Structure 1
Amino acid sequence: MNYRHVMHGRNAMDLGAMMNGKILRQLIKAGTTGDSAVFRRASEAIIENERQKQHHLLANDLERILYGDHQNVDPGRANKLPTSPVDKERGFPLLDIRQPQRSLEELIVGAASVAAVDDLLEEHRRSDLLRSYGMKEAGKVLLYGPPGCGKTLAAEVIAFELDMPLAIVRLDALVSSFLGQTAANLRQVFEFVAGHSMVVLFDEFDAIGKERDDSSEHGELRRVVNAVLQMMDAYQGKSLILAATNHEQILDSAIWRRFDDTIEFLLPGPAQIVQLLQLKLRGIRRQFELDDADVVGGFKGMSGADIERTIRRAVKHMILRSQEFLTVKDLKSALARESRSNIR
């Protein structure tokens, strides 16, 4: 072994240790004095140091800890979230209200869906201009398509981009076994969101918007659908209402006319699969190209959620076996397991 090479390696290690010691002292000092700017700079230096050592997974985790829960969120905003109304019979909150964390770059869907979301965002950002011409931005939008294709994510992204809280209607609390209570809960939700500026998501909307002519359903559901129609007609509130369904074909035909716009979400095509791989494997060392036809073809026909779960499983396999690189074999093994899970 070359002596000069060994000494160079030791000098680099000593220098690295000195740098780490300096950064750690800065970090601890910033923590004790409450200097957030120094704390952030020291943290970013540690992350960069880990990246230089090819510790990409650790660097990614540290970035999520440093930025993930606080990036672009005004300190204290979480404390300003309104308190959800509750189901009067059981005391359950009717809405899950949170600060959105995911931005537009994470919404990897078809070009038509992205364009529709962009249009919706522009309408709300420039609502004053529309109103000056006697027009209004879309206030009620239906998101539909197969499960796992980005509808719930789109709701969070829209809330994030509009700088609004996201309120997800809890169907388990909304739908009551007590006669008339479901309609009363719906009324509470509509009255509440009308007085606040937020993005409201009715997920699995078909549960309360099912076709009234369905002979298998009892009269209570018909009353609920009628209540939904009346409340949507009367709604003039501050919040943007989104409704998501995987089963648009069973929605009551009258429901569709109550929405100002609809956005369809489809299974990802080859271009979106490559984008998903780029996003979810960012910082992961691998032995294949992301646009390799064999790799992309393995994910054909899968939803975005299924693809993300499969990638996560493959990366876990790589980590637990102390592999330096992710391989096509890892992906195929994860795909096979995902296929077996779907059969069950």
Structure 2
Amino acid sequence: MANGKILRQLVKAGALGDTVAFRQASEAIIEEERQKQHHLLANDLERILYGGDMHAQPSSKKPQFEFDIPVDKERGLPLLDIRPPKRSLDEIILPESSSVMIEEMLEEHRRSDVLRSYGMKPSGKIIFFGPPGCGKTLAAEVIAFELDRPLAIVRLDALVSSFLGETAANLRKVFDFIAKHPLVVLFDEFDAIGKERGDSGEHGELRRVVNAVLQMMDAYDGSSLILAATNHENILDSAIWRRFDEAIEFPLPDQKQLTSLLQLKLRGIRRQFELDDKELLTEFEGKSGADVERVVRRAAKRMILRGQEFLTIKELRSALVREGLRRH
């Protein structure tokens, strides 16, 4: 069954006669059912939505933004990638402390009018840190979905320029842009522009970029929620941390979170094992959420193509080996 957030969006769009929003909510439900391996239902819903023509999906499937995305002067590349978020809060598994921090932050933004009536405002700048594949980018999408805002991912390949001073100029374009529009903005791999200034291996231009980041974050008072993510928190400049309202850790999952992850990723898949099987959890010990997702997807594909009715631990072990994740 689709989650309550999407169902509310669907009913609201239908009541208001908003065909674009209705289609987007319907497509989100179809995608959710497909992720649950409910392919027959997803196909039926697609046929109903598109009137039997599977190729009649309109070009307006992606949201149409009424503003111009800034570009890099050197190469003409867009500095942000703006997309509609599709995954909700029940798609992410985190330690309780991190989940509570995210839920509190969401409440602050949903009830920002109450805070402002007391002369306060919701957290506007948050940094995520932890190993790769532990849900930092997913969390940004979830937050955007829960706040009903587009997700804007800053493109570091376009932001960082070879021209002297152009990187800072690109940063200024990004901050000016996000100040005007209510977005959830993710600066992924934030250490690329926030590296410790005392690092003797870095040249003056990168130190100037860090100074520019600090100044722009200090001066920022826009309508977007800024999120930064790093896999290398130890190399961030110490002054960077003070610019954020909150720092949320995304560690490797423990056994409890691994069990929840497997339950999430294996929903709709028939299996011959229990999710809290010690042998199974040992196989996934030290793996990230992204690792678990890749392994389950590979094992499920093998099961389907071989015509097997049930997934076994053997298939998961084989997938771990194929992904280069199993210890010998």
TM range (shorter): 0.7 to 0.9
Match of 2:3 in 1: none
CA 1:342–1:173: 2 relative to 1, 3 Å: farther
CA 1:115–1:339: 2 relative to 1, 3 Å: same
Q: Which of residues 291, 296, 305 in structure 2 aligns to 1:320?
A: 305
Match of 2:196 in 1: 211
TM (normalized to structure 2)? Answer: 0.82
Question: Do the aligned residues in 2 keep the contact of 1:81 with 1:97 (CA within 8 Å)?
Answer: no
Counterpart code for 2:308 = Q
Question: Do the aligned residues in 1 keep the contact of 2:320 with 2:326 (CA within 8 Å)?
Answer: no
Listed one character per residue, the Cα deviations across residues 66-125 of structure 1 (whole Å, up to 9, x for unaligned) are 899xxxxxx978123643110012100000001100000001111111111001101101
Match of 1:97 in 2: 82
CA 1:178–1:165: 2 relative to 1, 3 Å: same
Q: Which of residues 183, 194, 202 in structure 1 aligns to 2:187?
A: 202
Q: Which of residues 238, 263, 273 in structure 2 aligns to 1:253?
A: 238
Match of 1:230 in 2: 215
TM-superposed deviation, 1:62: 3.4
For residues 208 and 64 of structure 1, what CA distance do their matches in structure 2 show?
A: 44
Q: Which of residues 128, 131, 141 in structure 2 aligns to 1:146?
A: 131
Match of 2:43 in 1: 62
For residues 341 and 296 of structure 1, what CA distance do their matches in structure 2 show?
A: 12
Question: Do the aligned residues in 1 keep the contact of 2:283 with 2:326 (CA within 8 Å)?
Answer: no
Unpaired runs of at least 5, structure 1? 1-33, 49-54, 69-74
Question: Do the aligned residues in 1 keep the contact of 2:194 with 2:237 (CA within 8 Å)?
Answer: yes
Counterpart code for 1:297 = T
For residues 342 and 292 of structure 1, what CA distance do their matches in structure 2 show?
A: 18
Greater helix share, 1 or 2?
1
Match of 1:135 in 2: 120
Q: What is the percent sequence identity of the aligned residues?
A: 66
Q: Secondary structure at the match of 1:80?
A: coil
Indicate yes or no: 2:123 matched with 1:157.
no
CA 1:205–1:134: 2 relative to 1, 3 Å: same
Q: How does 1:107-122 map to 2 (within 5 A)?
A: 107-122=92-107
Aligned residue-pair number: 289
Counterpart code for 2:323 = E
Question: Do the aligned residues in 1 keep the contact of 2:37 with 2:268 (CA within 8 Å)?
Answer: yes
Listed one character per residue, the Cα deviations across residues 51-77 of structure 1 (whole Å, up to 9, x for unaligned) are xxxx95533653895899xxxxxx978
TM-superposed deviation, 1:342: 9.8
Question: Do the aligned residues in 2 keep the contact of 1:81 with 1:165 (CA within 8 Å)?
Answer: no
Q: Which of residues 145, 157, 170 in structure 2 aligns to 1:185?
A: 170
Counterpart code for 2:304 = I
Listed one character per residue, the Cα deviations across residues 305-326 of structure 1 (whole Å, up to 9, x for unaligned) are 0111011111111112111111
Counterpart code for 1:62 = N
Q: Which of residues 146, 161, 175 in structure 1 aligns to 2:160?
A: 175
TM-superposed deviation, 1:275: 1.2
For residues 327 and 119 of structure 1, what CA distance do their matches in structure 2 show?
A: 39
CA 1:67–1:185: 2 relative to 1, 3 Å: farther
Q: Secondary structure at the match of 1:273?
A: helix
Question: Do the aligned residues in 1 keep the contact of 2:258 with 2:284 (CA within 8 Å)?
Answer: yes
- Runs of 4+ more than 6 Å apart: none
TM-superposed deviation, 1:336: 2.0
Match of 2:13 in 1: none
For residues 135 and 63 of structure 1, what CA distance do their matches in structure 2 show?
A: 48
Match of 2:4 in 1: none
TM-superposed deviation, 1:168: 0.1
Q: Secondary structure at the match of 1:191?
A: helix
- Which has the higher Rg, Structure 1 or Structure 2? 1
For residues 154 and 47 of structure 2, what CA distance do their matches in structure 1 show?
A: 30
